[in-house]
Amino acid sequence: MAIAVVDYGMGNLHSVSKAVERLGYEPLITGVREEILSADGIILPGVGAFGDAMEHLRESGLDQVMREAAARTAPLLGICLGMQLLFSQSEEHGVHEGLNILPGKVVRFTGGDYKVPHMGWNSLSFLQPDVPLFAGLEEGHVYFVHSYHVLPEVKSDLLAVTDYGQPVTAIVGRGHVYGMQFHPEKSGELGMSLLRGFLALTDGAS
């Protein structure tokens, strides 16, 4: 099964691709529309600032490709910044429009007795444990690095949270579109199990 890891100049492509390969799938690092849309599954990674990432996606035409991908049936996963890009808008260094695949906005951590960025291991709480992604899994710890977090508009899109002075969006999903705020490829057994769960969805994609 070919898994497209979208290359737009701002993703942690190597570690994500290696994790996909370790799980028995074929990663394809690509920024080519046809290769992305014909893949069995698509991963949108991301490291850096929201506005810069959207500029890279627009300049390459990959913003429209990602919207096309979301409208098809192949499972799509956004990781870290890649998850945030799925949403409507971010206030990181100004207001920036996102891919608007899922409704919601990205805001900075404010107030509270905690450090920003949110960095390190933190526990997950599954809000919808019956979703296929969580099949056979128990809640545990995963690895986060972020200064901004997502506020989904639709309650049912929120699949899991972590606690960092407040409930913080950790996993989102609607249909075949998913997002993980943490880095599953750096999150030990649970992270790899969640990534395996996503990749397993590609087996039945048409």
Enzyme catalytic residues: 80, 183, 185
| Of 136, 109, 144, 139, nearest in space to 127 by CA | 139
Pairing, β 158-163 against β 148-152? unpaired
**Concatenated DSSP letters of 88-134:** SEE-TTS-EE---SS-EEEEE--SSSS-SSEEEEEE-EES-TTSGGG
Contact indicator for 165, 173 with CB cutoff of 8 Å? no
Q: CA-CA distances (angstroms) from residue 64 to 38, 54, 139?
A: 15, 11, 35
Q: CA-CA distances (angstroms) from residue 17 to 21, 25, 62, 123, 128?
A: 6, 9, 19, 25, 28
The sign of the torsion formed by the CA atoms of 30, 195, 99, 74 equals: positive
Strand partners, 118: 146
Token readout for 142 is: 């995963």
120 Cβ neighbours under 8 A, 6+ residues apart: 143, 144
